[in-house]
A and B are shown apart, each in its own frame.
Chain A
Amino acid sequence: MTFRISVLVLLWFLSSCESLIDVNPKGALTGATIYDDDKTAGQVLTGIYVKMVEAGFASGGSQGMNVLGGLSADELMHHNAELQDFQANALYPSHPLVKAALWEPAYKFIYYANALLQGLEHSTAISSAVRKQLEGEARFLRAFSFFYLTNLFGDVPLILGTDFRINQVFKRTPQSEVYEQIVADLRLAQELLPHDYALYGDKRIRPNRAAASALLARVFLYLKDWSGAETEATEVITNTALYGLVADLDEVFLANSREAVWQLGPVIPGINTHEGNVFILTGFPGVVSLQGSTVNACEEGDLRALHWISHIDLGGMRYYYPYKYKKRDHPEGEEITEYSMVLRLAELYLIRAEARTRQDKLEGAIADIDAIRQRAGLPLLQDTNPSITKSGLMQRIENERRIELMAEWGHRWLDLKRTGRVHEVLPGVKPGWQATDVLYPIPQSEMDANPNLKPQNPGY
C-alpha cells in the first residue's frame, strides 16, 4: 500500500512539473495586462514624466539641456571636471555624459512612448477618451525627445517600434525624415490633446493642444517654415483666456503661472525644481555659474538682470548664477511653489517675432519684441527705433532670446546652431572651437554595439 502511494506521489510530481513552476510576479504587471485598464495604461505615461524629471536632458538638473547646452554655448561656466568638455566643445565619442545624459534618456523615453502606443494599438479594453489622451501625450513626448536628439546629434535612428531585433541594427535616419515624423506626431497631438488643463486638475504639468502648437511653432522656426511658425505661435498667443505674459518677473516661473504652456512638476522629494537646485549658489559653485559675458549682454536697466540673475561673493571672486527659480530646495512640509518650465509664452512671442521678420512683417515683429521688452522694463523699439532694418531686428531678436531664455533648455546653443551664428560667435570666446563641434558625437559604445550607426559625426 505504502509502496503504491509513494509511486503515485512520484507520478504526480512528474505529471505536474510544468504547472508547479508557474510564477506570477507580485507588484508588477505584464505587457499583456497593463493595457487592459485605463488607469494602469495611464500610469505608463506617468512613468515617462517621472523619468524625465528624475535625470537626464529634460530634468533641468546638472545633466539637463539647460546646463549642457548652456556650457556648449557661451552662457555658463563649469565647476566640475565632467562638464569641462562641454564648455570646451571638446567632447569625444566615449564621453560618459553624451550617452548617459542625452542619448540614452531620450531613447528611453522614446521606447516607453513606443511601448505605450503599441500597447494602445493592441488593446481593446481602453476607453476611447483615454486612448485619445494617452496617444496624444505619447506622440507629443516622442516628438519632444526626437527634437532634442536630432538637434544635438543630427541624423539619428528614427525608432518607432519596440522590437529590439530591428532596433539594434537600425541605421541613422536623415534629419529631414526625423523632422517629418516630429511634425506628424505633433499634428496628431494637436488633435488628440485637450484645449485646456481641466483634465489635469488645472495644473499645467502635462501637455495640451497649446503645448503641441508651441513645440510645433519652434519646429517650424527651426525648419525655416516661417509662416508655419507664425501660425502656430499665434494660436497660442491669442489664447488669452489661458495665457499671458506675467508682469512680475519673479512670478514667471511659479507653478501654473499664466505664462506657462507646459511645465514639469516635482518628482524628487526635497527639491523644488532641479534648475533652482543646481543654479542657486550658497557656496563655491559645484556645477556651473553664469558667464560674465551673459550678464554683460543685458542692456542697461534690464529688469531681468536684477530679477533673473544673482551672485555670491566668495574668496574675492564674484560668481553669477541664473535666478529665475528662487527655491534651491524644498523643506519638508512646505508647499511646492515652482515647476520646471518647458514651454512658455515669451518664447512664442520671440518665435513669432523672428518668423514675422523673416517674412518682412517688421511691424508685427517689433510689437512682439516690445511685449517682451516692456516686461523687462526696457524702452520699446517702437519708440526708440521704429525703422529698424530686418538684419538689425534679427540681431535684436538674437539678443532678446539670449537674455529672455537664458539658462533654459540650451536655447542659446540651439539658436546659435540653427542660425549659423555659432561660427561667428563662438570662435572668439572658445579657444579650441572647430566648425564640426556643432554636432555632438554619437556615443562610441553605441557604434560598437551597432556598427550600422556609422559613420560618426564629422570631427570625432
Chain B
Amino acid sequence: MRKNLLILGLLVTGTPLFAQSIENTKVVLELENEPLEVCFKMIERQTGLLFCYIPDHVDRYTSVSLPKKRDRTVREVLEHVLKGTDLLFEQMNTQIVVYKRRPQEAPPETISGEVSDLRGRVMSDVNVMVHGTVFGTTTDREGRFSLVARPTDSLVFSYVGFKKVVVPVNTRTTMRVVMESEFPILKEVEVNAGYWKVSPREQTGNIVRIDKREISQQPVSNSLVALGGRMPGVFVQQLSGVPGGAVHIQIRGLNSLRPDGNYPMYIIDGVPYPSTTISAKDVSRGILPEGNPLNYINPEDIESIDILKDADATAIYGSRGANGVVLITTRKGVEGRTRVDVNAYQGVGQVTRTMELLNTQQWLEMRKEAFKNDGATMNSFNAPDLLVWDTTRYTDWQKKLIGGTAQISNIQASASGGNKYTQFLLSGGYYRETTVFPGDFSFRKGSVHMNLQHKTFDDRLNISLSTNSSFTNNYLPAEDQTRKALELAPNAPPIYNEDGKFNWANGTWINPFALLRQEYTSNGITSINSFRSTYEVVKNLRAIVSLGYNRISLEELQTEPISSHDPDQNRNGRSHFGNSRVNTVIVEPQLEYIAEINDEGKLHVLIGATHQKTDTKIMAMRGTGYEDDRLLNSEWAASAIHMMSSTDVEYQYNALFGRINYSWKRKYFVNLTGRRDGSSRFGPTRRFANFGAIGAAWIFSMEPFWGNRFTFLDFGKLRLSYGITGNDQIGDYGYLDIYTATQYGYDGQKGMLPEQLVNPDYSWEKNRKIEAALDLGLFSNRVMFNASYYHNRSSDQLVGYTLSVVTGYPSIQANLEAVVENKGWEFGLNTANVSRKNFTWKSSFNLTLPKNKLVSFPDLKSSNYASQYEVGKPITIQKKIHYTGVDPQTGVYTFEDLNGDGIFSSEDYQAKKKTGYDLYGGFQNIIRYKEWEFDFFFQFVKQAGYNYYALIQNLPGTRFYNQPIWIMDRWMNPGDIVKVQSFSQSSGKAFIAHINSMASDILISNATFVRLKNFSLSFHLKSQWLEKMKCRQGRIYIQGQNLLTFTDYLGPDPENMAEGALPPLRVISAGIDLTF
C-alpha cells in the first residue's frame, strides 16, 4: 500500500495504545534478498497493518534478508530489516509509517532573498517569519530581506491581500518568493462548468455563481427566486406569490420567437431537470397556471447555482445551450469532525402591494354617473349593486381575500463529516407556508438529502453518490383570489346570511367565499439521484462515468363542491384529477487527460458521450355528477369521467462532446469545446448537428511590460469567446405523420385524426454567441470590476410557418430564416470598502443593459406574426392602436387613425411601445461588525409592461369591476383635461372607445421599480456562550424579503404585473442556526 507522506506531520503527536500494536503483533517471516517492499507487503498480509511510505525512499533497498524464526514481533522484524538504512518507522493507528531519518540538526545560517508579486513587482513590507517562532523581519523597499534560520526551518511570507507563502529552507541561503494576491472577492472557489470545474482566474467563459450563503439568507421556497437581481445577464421574475408559483428566468434575453423556446436548461448534479411545470394544466390552471419544477427542491440542499452564459461556457451543452444553462450543485459531505447543523426559522408573509380602490361612496357616484351618461335605465339585471344591494355597506375585498398573513416555518437539520477518504452528508428539511387567502391552505415540503463520497488511499478511484428526495403537498384554493379581490364592488353583499349560510343575494353575485370551497391539492414526489465515479487509468488519464436518474411525480385534484354553487342553480359536484410524471435517465462516460507540458503549459482534454432518455406523462380527467361533496376526491364516485387531456411522450438524446483546454505560463488560456448532438425531436435525416466554441483568456497583468507601470492594478484579464449553440425546445414527434385520438367519440367510438402537417426537414435553432470581457482587480484587489459585452444571434427560428388553412392546418413547423439578436453590456463591481479585524464592509453592484432586436423575418407581413413583430424592433414590441388621450370635447379616449378610414382595426396598429426590461441589476452590501452581520440587497429593473388597464377590463362605470381611486379624475364637462374618459356602464361612445382602448397602447406603461429585495441581520453567538451550549457555531438572524418597493407602476405589483396572480409576498422571518 503506497501512500503519500503528508501524514508525517502528524508524527509529533504521541502514539496511544492500539488494539493491534507492533509490539505484540507477531509475524512469521523469512526473506532472502527480497526488496524491502516485499517485506512490508508480507507483514501487511499477515497482520492487516498498513505501511505508509514514499516509494523513492524504500525502492533503493532491493535486497534484504531475514532468517526464519517463529514468533517475532513486527517491531523486531522492522528493526532488523531497517538496520543500516536511513529509514525509521513509527506506528500510527493501523498504519506503520516508514520515513527517512532527518539530517542532523544543522547550524543556523543567514538567508536572504527577494519578494515580488505575480507580475514581478517587488513587494515591500512583507512579513517574513520563521515558522513556529517569533523571529522575523519585513522586506525593504526593494523587496529584500535577510534573516537567520536553520535548514529544517520554514519561512512564512505574509502580506494583507495576498496568500500566505511557506517556503522550507533546506539547503538554500537565497530565495526568490512570488506572492499571489488573495483576490478577496474573486475567491478561488472553483465554479462549476458542467463537466469540469474551473477557477475564476482561469475561466475563459462567462459563468456566474451564487452560493449557499446567499440562497439561505432568503426565506424563499424556490431557489430561483433567490437569484433575482444578483447576477448580471440573468433576469428573474416571480410571477406569483402563491406557494409553488411560477418563476421565469431569462439568461441574456429572449432568443426564440416561440414563447416556449426561451427556457434555460436546468441540470442538477449532472442530471437534466425539467424546465417547465409538469402539472396537468386542466387541473391547476386557476391557481398555478404555470408553476416551476424547482419548487420541489429544498433551497437548503443547494450548495451553489452556476449559470453558464456565453458560447464558451454553453457550447458543451450543444443543442440545449442556446438559452443558457443553470447548473445546480447539491450539498456534499465535508471532511472533518462530524458536524451537526440545525437551522430553523419562522416567518410571516403578506402581499407586497395592493391597490387603492374606490370606496362605496365613490363607487356609487361612478355607477350613477355612468347610467346618467349612457342615458340608460337601471334595472335589477344591470344595476343590482344600486337597486338590490345595500348601498351603505363597505368591504375592503383586498383585505378580505388576499389580506391575510402567511405563516412560514422552516427547519433543516444536517449531519456531515468523514475523513480524507470518505465523507458523508445527511440532511432533512421541512418547510411549511400558509397562504394569505382566507382558510387553512398551506404548502408543505419535506426533503431528505444524502451524499456519500469515497476515494481510495491511492486517490485513483473516486466515487460519489447523491440522492435528493422531496415530498410536497400543496393545498390551495382552486382559483387565485387576487382578481376577485380587485374586482368586487365595495358594496357587494355580506358573505353569510343571518343563518350562517352563504348569501347569494338572489343570484346577483357569485359569493367569493363559497368559491373558496373549490380547492386544489397536489401531492408531489421528486427524486434526484446521481452517481459519479472517476478512475485514474494511467497517470494523468482518468475514466469517468456519471449516471443519473430523476423522477418527478405529481397527483393533483381540483374540486368543485355542490356547496360552492348557488343552491338555486341545482348543480352537481365536479372534480378534476391530474396525474403526471417525468422520468429522466442519463449516462455519461468520459475520459479526461490532464498533463503538464514543459513546466509552463497545462493541457486538459475531455471527451465524453451522453445518452439521455426522458419520458413525460401528463393526464387530466374530469369527474362529474357527484351527489355528495365528501366524495369529490374519488374518481369512482363520479357518475361520469371524461378524459380531458393526455400527454405521453418520449425524448431521446445522444451526444458526443469534447473539450481541449491549454494554459501557458498561467496567463494564456485557450479553451475549445464541441458537441455533436442527436435528438429524437427531429426527423431521421436532420437529427445530428455539431456545435462548438472557442474561448480565450489573457491575464495581461502578468506581462512584464505591464511591470510597475500601473501599481493600482493587480489583476487584469481579457476574455473572448465565440461559438454556436442550439435549441431543441420543441414538442416531441413534430416530424412524424401521427394520428391521435379525438377528445370525444362518436357513436361510442373515438376518432383518430392526423395531428399536423409533416415536415421531416426541420432542425435546431442556432444561436451564435460572441462575447468580450474584461476583469480587473484594483487597489490590492479590493476592487474587482468586470465588464462583458455579448452579441448573440439566434437564427433558423423554429416557428410555425404560416400556411393557408386550405392545406388543412394554419402552419407547418419549419426553420424560418428569421434572426433574433440579443446584445448588451454586463457590469459587475465588487468592493471591499473596509476590511478591519472587527469591521468589514463589502459591496457588490451589478448592472445589465440588454438590447433585443428582430433582425430579419422573411415575408413577415404575410405571416401569422404580422401583427406581432416588426423587423428592427424588439420581439417584445406590442403592436397596438396608438392612444392619444381623452378628447376634452367628447370626453372619450382618442386614438390615432393611421389609415384614416374612421374605424380602428389591425391596420392602425403601430409598433410604438414594447414590454420588457431595458436595464436591471442589483446592489448588495455586507457589513460585519464584531459578532454582527448586516446584509441588504436592492434589486432594480427599468421596464415597461401591461398595466392595470390591461389587467382589469377597465371601463370605469361598469358593474363588474371596482376601479382604482385615480379614475375619479374623469371627464365630466366639455373642456375638462383629464386622464380618464367619462363613465359608462357599457354602452354608447365611451364603451366603443373602451373596446378600442383594449387594443391600444394605453395598456402598456412604465413598470420600473426598485425593491429592497432582501435584508438580513445576524448575530454570531459569542464563544463563551457557545461553549456553554456545547456548540461550535451559532447564529441568530432576522431576514426579510421584498421589504420595500419604489415604483410608479399602475397596478398591484411591478414584478409579476398580473391582476389574476397574487403579488410576491413580503416576508419577514427570524431564526437560529446552530452547529454542533
Contacts and interface: CB of A to CB of B under 8 A. Distances in A.
Interface string B604-635: 00011101000000000000110000000000
Given A3-B537, A46-B747, A451-B862, A99 B624 contact: no
B931 interface: no
Nearest to B638: A332
Interface string B951-980: 000000000000000000000000000000
Contacts of B186: none
Interface string A163-202: 0100110100000000000000000000000000000110
A424 interface: no
A164 B803 contact: yes
Contact of B808 (A23, A44, A107): A107
Given A6-B543, A14-B656, A43 B736 contact: no
Interface string B630-658: 00000000011010001011111110100
B680 interface: yes
Contacts of B746: 46, 49-50, 53, 205, 265, 267
Contacts of A315: 379, 381
A6 B587 CA distance: 13
Contacts of B738: 25, 28-31
A17 B679 CA distance: 10
Interface stretch (A135-143, A395-403, A441-449): A441-449
Given A46-B746, A448-B866, A450-B806, A26 B649 contact: yes
Contacts of B656: 13-14, 17
A110 B805 CA distance: 11
Contacts of B1036: none
Interface in B718-752: 732-733, 736-747, 749-752
Nearest to B608: A10
Given A13-B589, A31-B754, A450-B804, A25 B745 contact: no
Interface string B99-136: 00000000000000000000000000000000000000
Given A43-B751, A453-B804, A30 B739 contact: yes
Contacts of B651: 23
Interface in A9-30: 9-10, 13-14, 17-18, 20-30
B654 A17 contact: yes
User: Main secondary structure on chain A at its contact with chain B?
Assistant: helix
Nearest to A201: B747
A50 B744 contact: yes
B806 A29 contact: no
B537 A6 contact: yes
Contacts of B687: 18, 21
B54 interface: no
Contacts of B688: 17
Contacts of B541: 3
B611 A20 contact: yes
Given A21-B680, A28-B755, A269-B642, A54 B744 contact: yes
Contact of B802 (A94, A108, A265, A449): A449
B19 interface: no
A241 interface: no
Contacts of B572: 332
Given A50-B742, A449-B862, A168 B649 contact: no
Given A10-B591, A333-B625, A22 B680 contact: yes
B753 interface: yes
Contact of A13 (B543, B609, B753): B609
Given A14-B656, A168-B807, A268-B744, A44 B589 contact: no
Contacts of A110: 808
B543 A2 contact: yes
A181 to B, nearest CB: 14
A412 to B, nearest CB: 27
A291 interface: no
Contacts of B624: 269-270, 332
A446 B810 CA distance: 9
Contacts of B609: 10, 13-14
Contacts of A32: 737
B864 interface: yes
A157 interface: yes
B950 to A, nearest CB: 20
Contacts of B1002: none
Contacts of A104: 805, 810
B361 interface: no
Interface in A331-383: 332-333
Contact of B806 (A14, A31, A34, A159): A159
Contacts of B733: 23, 25, 28
A21 B679 contact: yes
User: Main secondary structure on chain B at its contact with chain A?
Assistant: strand
A47 B751 contact: yes
A444 to B, nearest CB: 9
Nearest to A315: B379
Given A25-B649, A28-B739, A115-B754, A99 B805 contact: yes
A47 B752 contact: yes
Nearest to B572: A332
Contacts of A226: none
Contacts of A14: 609, 656
A23 B648 CA distance: 12
B708 interface: no
Nearest to B744: A267
Interface in A108-165: 108, 110-112, 114-115, 157, 159, 162, 164
B618 to A, nearest CB: 12
B476 interface: no
Contacts of B804: 167-168, 170, 446, 449-450, 453
A460 interface: no
B497 interface: no
B678 interface: yes
A201 B747 CA distance: 10
B806 A157 contact: yes
Contacts of B736: 25, 30
Nearest to A43: B752
A40 B905 contact: no
Given A23-B650, A203-B747, A94 B806 contact: no
B778 interface: no
A115 B803 CA distance: 18
A311 interface: no
Nearest to B757: A164
A137 to B, nearest CB: 12
Contacts of B492: none
B6 interface: no
B999 interface: no
Contact of A40 (B650, B752, B906): B752
B864 A445 contact: yes
Contacts of B249: none
A29 B753 CA distance: 9
Contacts of A417: none
24 contacts: A3-B537, A10-B589, A17-B678, A21-B652, A22-B680, A23-B732, A24-B650, A26-B649, A27-B740, A27-B741, A30-B736, A31-B738, A44-B751, A44-B754, A50-B742, A94-B906, A99-B805, A103-B805, A111-B808, A200-B747, A269-B640, A269-B744, A448-B802, A453-B804
Given A21-B652, A112-B753, 19 more contacts: A6-B545, A17-B656, A20-B654, A21-B678, A21-B680, A26-B648, A47-B742, A50-B750, A92-B905, A99-B805, A205-B747, A268-B744, A269-B640, A269-B642, A269-B744, A333-B639, A449-B802, A449-B862, A451-B862
Interface of A: 2-3, 6-7, 9-10, 13-14, 17-18, 20-32, 34, 40, 42-51, 53-54, 92, 94, 99, 103-104, 107-108, 110-112, 114-115, 157, 159, 162, 164, 167-168, 170, 200-201, 203, 205-206, 265, 267-270, 284, 315, 332-333, 445-446, 448-451, 453
Name the 7 nearest CB pairs between A and B, nearest first.
A47-B751, A111-B808, A31-B737, A47-B753, A13-B609, A450-B804, A43-B752
